[in-house]
Amino acid sequence: MALQFTRRAAIMAAGFAALSASMAVAQGEKVALITPYLAQPGTQFYVEAFQARAAELGWEVNVIDTAGDVAAVIARMEDVTTQGVSAIVINVDPAQVGAGLAAAAAANIPVIGMDAGTDPLVRANVTSNGYAMAAETAVYVANRIAGAGNVVMFTFDAFPPVQVRGVVADAVFANFPDIKVLDRITPNVDDGGIADSRAKMEAILAANPEPGSIKAVWAAWDQPALGALQAIEAAGRGGEGIVITGIDANPQARDAIAAGGNFEASVAQDFAGIGRTTADTVARVLAGEVLRQNVVYVPTVLITAANVKDAK
Amino acid sequence: MAHFLRTYGTLLGMVLLVGFFWISLPDTFMTARNWLNISQQVSMLAVVAAVMTVVMVMGDFDLSVGSMASLAGVVAAVMFVQGFGIAAGVAAALAVGLLGGLVNGLLVSLIGILPFVATLATLTMYSGLAFVISGGKTIFGRDIPQGFADFARGGIALGGDKPLVLPYLTLTALAVVALVWLLLEQTSYGRRLYAIGGNMEAARLAGVRVTWLRLTAFGFTGVGAAVAGLMYAARVASANPTQGAGLMLSAIAAVFLGMTMAENGQPRVLASLAGVVVLGVMDNGLTQMQVDSYVREVLVGLIILLAVSISALGRRAVTGR
Amino acid sequence: MPQLSLSGLVKTYGAARALDGAGLVLRGGEVHALMGENGAGKSTLIRILAGLERADAGEILLDGRVLTLGSPAAAEAAGLRFLHQELQVVPGLSVAENMHLARDYPTRFGLVDWRALHLAAEAALQRLGVGHIGARVPMARLGPGDQMLVRIAATLLQGSGPAPWLYVLDEPTAALTGAEAARLFTAIARLKAAGAGVLYVSHRMDEVLALADRVTVLRDGAHTSTEARADTDQARLIHAMTGRELSDMYPARQTAALGPVLLSVRGLAAAGLASLDLDLRAGEVVGLAGLAGSGRNAALKALIGAVARRGRVELAGAALAVTPAGTWAQGLAYVPRERRAEGVMLLRALAETVSLPHLGALSRLGFLDRRAERGAVAARGAEVRLKARGPGQPVGQLSGGNQQKVLFARALLGRPKVLLLDEPTRGVDVGAKFDIYSLIRGLSAQGVAVLIASSDLPELIGLCDRIAVLHGGVHTQTLAAEGLTEAELLARCYESPTR
């Protein structure tokens, strides 16, 4: 038994020695990036771009994934606060990790959000501008129909990030006296949003059988746009030139746009840009800059048939 | 000597672990603030591990504690959304915990299903119910009363240069552990649970009401899981139908770690607490040392295997087989 | 005939000397019994023979040549086979497959040749004279006796390896019924006739006297005597084992006036028991005798409340409760037959087994009074002459006799009115037996009523005032024990109920 014990101590010592050696002693700033969602594809784009930029800046980045456990995000925020990192980046709703934010604030460690949300204790949240994305597609619609005709809107006011998109589109269309909003539909999203949007669109097409009586469909995200496209094609009215737009530019939407049919435009978020800009924002804070804006927007890209093959 | 090491081997390992982190992180690890932090981080796990010990004492298991914790949090949050106060939300969650625990007990003791199978089934059921009640969404923001979330942020000020706070969550966990300790070690109820684990048929023939005791013990574990779920919901100021899922495996791991330091490998609640602390210290120390979070998981698993292997080898050395 | 001689064996564990110069000579064609109290060194000797332990000193010669038994494989190569109380069988597999577990299955074209497998197994079973066991039957369907016979038959399979010539049977009948034991004895006779030797380790005097050609007795790790069967008897063997005379075995009855009826049983019936009528008076010791399956054990289980029962039972004038929790509380106490399975908690402190039925009385508001518990356990432990390091020692570390004493201490802790004892001296060495008999005597002198179910007929005659005889679940007669002979009692056990 005594022998076994010595062996055990040896194993532990060896393990810890290897562990210590693996911790590269870097000179630069130590920054912790904590997310419960690393397994999600979008998150990986941000994190990789953040790490690339941080490497250029000579930082030592510790990426911590808590595999969906939000309480563990708080725990790890407390741990890295104790460790004394230079800054913490979070990728989770600040409302859920208040205790961690308070711990960091007490130790004067800045917290920056990466597509997280705003909070008094978050120096800045780096994200895409929902207002701007809606304006891009609404204006695209207005221009394509030469400022005149009936438009169908698909919105979802119950979810705040989508609600702002609808408000912006309302304002854009109201500014054109000859554009009439035929209907403002909130689809049932339990099935993902495509099927119910298609059903609603079919009803509207039936009520407005005259060619030209519907000029455009504006959707606050891609799924209703895809549903409307299916309804229009199924009704044999694909040739009327009804313009459809969505937002988010998901792969299915990109395919539809590339096909050159009625679905003409959507808006893509720049995930890599968000990661890079987050790193730059951290750098600004570490340099002592006091940020006036608590939200930093990363430009988005309008996707149309012209650039759908090149835009990432 | 062999006896000493078998009993205190894991404890010694703990001391080595702490010593290692102390040396590697000289400024930050061995501070009152960090330990208070750890105590708060492991508080929910400590509660689940303590009540898990109650059923493991009988040689049983409760795999449903994690989903029960999620369900309890969701029930409280939905009550808040409906406009009920904190007391009503907490009471409803605890009642659901008791009910769910008794259902487990009923299946195991009256119907006679193996605990592993029975609680595996209720694990999925309770998890499904949490999704049904919450509609699959995370409930947070203004729906969660400020007072509820503040409980997890607050504590008793201890003074000091930079004011230290003994968190309420830590106190709650200590209270639950103390209660379980009293129940298991100081009451005839606890002694009878150990008797059931020691030899169920002998206990029955000696006049122990096995069915009733197993039923109530599972009820107790259900309530404990609900308490942990409420603590979790308060800490993240939100409730989500999967948030307690990780607690179950960690709790079982903690009890097993504890069993390696108890005489004859029996589950003891204070040993389970020590197991919880080992897991918490590993997480805290390795995060501070910037060890990759996936490597951290591998290391935690290795430590558990190491402790259990040493204990098994020690027992073999003693019995000679 | 091969001959294995062991001499001067010494084995120490720390300070304890388990073997101190023990030795014996084993020959083919002979049954050699090994006796001794627990702790006499029997198990250590067997472990050395089996290659599980090495002796510190001593010599083992096989046909005059030094034999080194460093491993179980070496023991097997020397032709030795061991059969323990706890059988290693796979219940789900057939008899034939169990017999082939340790060797290769016969194959044909690379696949298992099931026909050859079954034929080989049947041949081996026939050679042992146990053709009543089918080779294709699942092992789980056999009783423990037949399972043991299968294990023995497995060693008779033709083919690989050296043929076995010496069988070591360690308490083989501990779990067997009388009929099963009889079949085992037939098989042993066959082995002997075929030239094999048997080392037979047992507490059971009657078996040893019936089977053995020679008997060796160990005491305190040393060789006490080896005698031919014809030259010895029970009295001599008990004296050799204990240094005590047989006449002292059953303490004399203390003539005390019997008290009022404490336990009144009318028309008691349960699974395996059709009817029992009995009045048990304070200070009285009553036995339940019968063949295996007669219902004597079922009667006790029904009384304590472990199984459902019918009929009217009163304890001190009040109807008896139907659950163990209730009957213990009313003043009934029970020592079960299966000590390990039904009695003790092997890994837990012995005090916990002792106090378990009495926790209610030892608690205040649900909180255990540990001091009162410790005091009560220590007092009862002393009363039953329990040998243990302390109340915290796990039961599993005690000898069989001391484990049984733990259960007696438990039964006495609540100061019972009626004591139910199921095979109270099963697997217990002679010294502990004597302690238990004295204890029973002492209790009856204090006015406790005792009901004993036992398959050990001399024990019933020596201890009881009256003996109720059961046959096939029916209570056939009640006899006065005084003057009864073992042969007469056995004859009564075989009598069917008169209709």
CATH number at residue C413: 3.40.50.300
**Do C286 and C236 share a structural domain?**
no
Closest CA to B308 of B10, B2, B60: B10
More confident: A49 or B153: A49
Which stretch of DSSP H or E encloses residue C443?
helix C430-445
Confidence of residue C488 (pLDDT cuts 50, 70, 90): confident
Three-state SS letters, chain B: CHHHHHHHHHHHHHHHHHHHHHHHCCCCCCCHHHHHHHHHHCHHHHHHHHHHHHHHCCCCCCCCHHHHHHHHHHHHHHHHHCCCCHHHHHHHHHHHHHHHHHHHHHHHHHHCCCHHHHHHHHHHHHHHHHHHHHCCCCEEHHHCCHHHHHHHHCEEEEECCCCEEEEHHHHHHHHHHHHHHHHHHHEHHHHHHHHHHHCHHHHHHCCCCHHHHHHHHHHHHHHHHHHHHHHHHHHHCEECCCCCCCHHHHHHHHHHHHHCCCHHHCCCHHHHHHHHHHHHHHHHHHHHCCCCHHHHHHHHHHHHHHHHHHHHHHHHHHHCC
Could you tell me which residues come within 8 angstroms of residue C61 by beta carbon, excluding any fewer than 6 positions away?
C4, C5, C7, C67
Task: Decide if A114 contacts A126 (C-beta within 8 A).
Answer: yes
Give ∠ CA B115-C324-C462 in degrees, rounded to 5.
Answer: 125
Whether B319 has its CB under 8 Å from any CB of chain C: the answer is no
Whether B50 has its CB under 8 Å from any CB of chain C: the answer is no
pLDDT of B260: 82
Q: Which chain C residues touch B195 with a CB distance below 8 Å?
A: 345, 348, 352, 356
Domain ranges of chain A: 19-122+271-298, 130-268
Residue C94 predicted with pLDDT over 50: yes
Cα(A142)–Cα(C444) distance, integer angstroms: 108
Taking CB atoms and an 8 Å cut-off, how many pairs form between chains A and B? 122
Q: Which chain B residues touch C327 with a CB distance below 8 Å?
A: 207
CATH class of the domain comprising A130-268:
alpha beta
Q: In terms of C-beta density within 10 A (0-12 exposed, 13-18 middle, 19 or more buried), how is residue C8 classed?
A: middle
Cα(C285)–Cα(C459) distance, integer angstroms: 12
Q: Indicate the SS3 state at residue A245.
A: strand
Compute the average pLDDT of residues C196-223.
88
Residue B154 predicted with pLDDT over 90: no
Question: What's the token pair of residue C282?
Answer: 């304070």
Question: What's the token pair of residue A168?
Answer: 């912006």
Out of A196-205, B258-267, C81-90, give the one with best mean pLDDT: A196-205
The whole-model pTM stands at 0.77
- Per-residue CA distances from C131 to C88, C105, C126, C144 (Å): 21, 21, 5, 16
Domain span at residue B73 reads 2-319
- How do beta strands A243-245 and A263-268 pair? parallel
Cα(C33)–Cα(C28) distance, integer angstroms: 14
Confidence of residue C248 (pLDDT cuts 50, 70, 90): low
- Per-residue CA distances from C464 to A165, C257, C427, C487 (Å): 97, 15, 20, 16
Cα(C284)–Cα(C305) distance, integer angstroms: 22
Q: Chain B: residue nearest A4 by CA?
A: B310
Whether B181 has its CB under 8 Å from any CB of chain C: the answer is no
Task: Decide if C307 contacts C298 (C-beta within 8 A).
Answer: yes
pLDDT of A8: 47
pLDDT of B11: 80
Judged by 3 or more CB pairs under 8 A, whether B touches C is: yes
- Residue C256 inside a domain? The answer is no
Residue A217 predicted with pLDDT over 90: yes
pLDDT of A312: 58
Three-state SS letters, C77-115: HCCEEEECCCCCCCCCCEHHHHHCCCCCCCEECCEECHH
pLDDT digits (tens, 9 = 90+) for C447-470: 999 999 998 888 898 899 999 999
Q: Which chain C residues touch B182 with a CB distance below 8 Å?
A: 367
Final residue belonging to a domain, choices C190, C217, C248: C248
- Residue C253 inside a domain? The answer is no
Total domain count, chain C? 2
pLDDT of C160: 57
pLDDT of A295: 93
Cα(C48)–Cα(C71) distance, integer angstroms: 9
- Nearest CB partner across the interface for A96, out of B31, B140, B245: B140
> Residue A132 — φ and ψ, nearest 5°?
-65, -40
Please report, as a single letter, which amino acid is at residue C408: F
Closest CA to C372 of C384, C348, C354: C354
- Nearest CB partner across the interface for B24, out of A12, A20, A71: A20
What single string gives the DSSP state of each residue in A204-232?
A: HHHH--STTS--EEEESSHHHHHHHHHHH
pLDDT of B173: 97
- Residue C158 inside a domain? The answer is yes
Whether B124 has its CB under 8 Å from any CB of chain C: the answer is no
Q: Chain B: residue nearest C331 by CA?
A: B207
pLDDT digits (tens, 9 = 90+) for A62-91: 999 988 888 899 999 999 999 999 999 999
Give ∠ CA C453-C454-C455 in degrees, rounded to 5.
Answer: 140
> Does C306 contact B205 at a Cβ distance shorter than 8 Å?
yes
Q: Chain A: residue nearest B297 by CA?
A: A66
Closest CA to A151 of A134, A125, A173: A173
CATH class of the domain comprising A19-122+271-298:
alpha beta
Other CB atoms within 10 Å distance of the CB of residue C357 = 27
pLDDT of C246: 59
- Nearest CB partner across the interface for C345, out of B182, B199, B209: B199
> Does A78 contact B16 at a Cβ distance shorter than 8 Å?
no
Final residue belonging to a domain, choices C213, C248, C283: C248
pLDDT digits (tens, 9 = 90+) for C406-419: 999 999 998 999 99
Residue C198 predicted with pLDDT over 90: yes
Total domain count, chain B? 1
- Residue C239 inside a domain? The answer is yes
User: What is the C-alpha end-to-end distance of chain A, expressed in Å?
Assistant: 62
Domain span at residue C95 reads 3-248
Residue C336 predicted with pLDDT over 60: yes
pLDDT digits (tens, 9 = 90+) for A84-93: 999 999 999 8
Give ∠ CA C290-C335-C366 in degrees, rounded to 5.
Answer: 150
Final residue belonging to a domain, choices C248, C274, C291: C248
pLDDT of B6: 62
- Nearest CB partner across the interface for C356, out of B182, B189, B195: B195
Task: Decide if B48 contacts B251 (C-beta within 8 A).
Answer: yes
**Do C271 and C236 share a structural domain?**
no
- Nearest CB partner across the interface for C359, out of B182, B192, B264: B192
Q: Which chains touch C (3 or more CB pairs under 8 A)?
A: B
Q: Which chain B residues touch A82 with a CB distance below 8 Å?
A: 28-29, 31, 33-34, 37, 284, 288
**Do C276 and C230 share a structural domain?**
no
Judged by 3 or more CB pairs under 8 A, whether A touches C is: no
Whether A54 has its CB under 8 Å from any CB of chain B: the answer is no
Lowest-pLDDT range of A21-35, A219-233, B206-220, B276-290: A21-35
Judged by 3 or more CB pairs under 8 A, whether A touches B is: yes
pLDDT of A20: 46
- How do beta strands A295-298 and A124-128 pair? parallel
pLDDT digits (tens, 9 = 90+) for B116-152: 999 999 999 999 999 899 887 788 777 889 899 889 8
The mean of the pLDDT values for chain C is 87
Q: Indicate the SS3 state at residue C37.
A: coil
Closest CA to C449 of C295, C330, C315: C315
Calculate what percentage of chain C has a pLDDT beyond 70.
95
Closest CA to B244 of B131, B166, B155: B131
pLDDT of B7: 63
Q: What does DSSP assign to residue A4? A: H
Residue A1 predicted with pLDDT over 50: no
Confidence of residue B182 (pLDDT cuts 50, 70, 90): very high
Residue A54 predicted with pLDDT over 60: yes
Whether A75 has its CB under 8 Å from any CB of chain B: the answer is yes
Whether B296 has its CB under 8 Å from any CB of chain C: the answer is no
pLDDT of C222: 86
Question: What's the token pair of residue A239?
Answer: 């040739």
Q: What's the CATH code of the domain at B13?
A: 1.10.3470
> Does B208 contact C325 at a Cβ distance shorter than 8 Å?
yes
pLDDT of A96: 87
Taking CB atoms and an 8 Å cut-off, how many pairs form between chains B and C? 87
Please tell me the distance in Å from B143's CA to the nearest CA on chain C.
Answer: 42
Compute the average pLDDT of residues A98-109.
92
Cα(C455)–Cα(C295) distance, integer angstroms: 12
User: What is the C-alpha end-to-end distance of chain B, expressed in Å?
Assistant: 18
Question: What's the token pair of residue B41?
Answer: 């981080």
Preferred mutation among B31, B70, B235 to probe A, highest tally of A CBs within 10 A: B235
Lowest-pLDDT range of B25-29, C58-62, C70-74, C357-361: C70-74
Compute the average pLDDT of residues C88-114.
83
Whether C258 has its CB under 8 Å from any CB of chain B: the answer is no
Give ∠ CA C385-C391-C396 in degrees, rounded to 5.
Answer: 85
Could you tell me which residues come within 8 angstroms of residue B68 by beta carbon, excluding any fewer than 6 positions away?
B96, B97, B100, B101, B126, B222, B225, B226, B229, B244
Whether B206 has its CB under 8 Å from any CB of chain C: the answer is yes
- Residue C89 inside a domain? The answer is yes
Closest CA to C171 of C272, C82, C39, C245: C82
pLDDT digits (tens, 9 = 90+) for C134-173: 889 998 888 878 888 888 888 888 765 667 889 998 888 7
Give ∠ CA A221-A226-A232 in degrees, rounded to 5.
Answer: 130
pLDDT digits (tens, 9 = 90+) for B34-79: 999 899 999 999 999 999 999 999 999 999 999 999 999 999 999 9
Residue C270 predicted with pLDDT over 80: yes
pLDDT of C77: 85
ipTM score of complex: 0.85
Residue C399 predicted with pLDDT over 50: yes
- How do beta strands C214-219 and C222-228 pair? antiparallel
pLDDT of B320: 42
Task: Decide if A305 contacts A258 (C-beta within 8 A).
Answer: yes
Could you tell me which residues come within 8 angstroms of residue C272 by beta carbon, excluding any fewer than 6 positions away?
C293, C295, C298, C473
Burial C73-94, CB ≥16 within 10 A → b, else e: eebbebbbbbbbeeeebeeeeb
Q: Which chain A residues touch B149 with a CB distance below 8 Å?
A: 98
Please tell me the distance in Å from B308's CA to the nearest CA on chain C.
Answer: 18
Burial C188-221, CB ≥16 within 10 A → b, else e: bebbbeeebbbbbbbbbbebbeebbbbbbbbbeb
User: What is the C-alpha end-to-end distance of chain C, expressed in Å?
Assistant: 56
Calculate what percentage of chain A has a pLDDT beyond 70.
89
pLDDT digits (tens, 9 = 90+) for C37-91: 766 788 889 889 888 888 888 889 988 888 888 888 888 888 888 886 556 778 8
Please report, as a single letter, which amino acid is at residue A229: L
